[in-house]
Amino acid sequence: MVAIKTTFDGERIVLPEALRGRPPQEVIIVCETNESEATDSSWLKAQEQTFAKAWDNDEDAAYDSL
């Protein structure tokens, strides 16, 4: 997994020039939010569902017993 700082132009994620043209692949997006957005429960619920998909796997299950 690699973390990449990028921007959102209001309609799409804008990747740095060096990453354009890479083959299609799954990504996880984490957005910085202001305080009013962070308290919006629908935003938190969407994140919860997305992270559950990413972390619900056999490899990650090894950490459940720690």
* H-assigned helices in the chain: 35-38, 41-55, 58-61
User: According to the model, what pLDDT value does residue 2 have?
Assistant: 79
User: SS3 of 13, please?
Assistant: strand
What does DSSP assign to residue 22?
P
Among the listed residues 64, 53, 34, 56, the one whose alpha carbon sits nearest the alpha carbon of residue 43 = 34
Among the listed residues 55, 54, 56, the one whose alpha carbon sits nearest the alpha carbon of residue 27 = 54
User: According to the model, what pLDDT value does residue 36 have?
Assistant: 63
Average pLDDT, consecutive stretches of 10 residues, N- to C-terminus, the chain (66 residues): 82 85 84 66 73 77 77
User: According to the model, what pLDDT value does residue 13 have?
Assistant: 85
Domain boundaries, the chain: 33-66
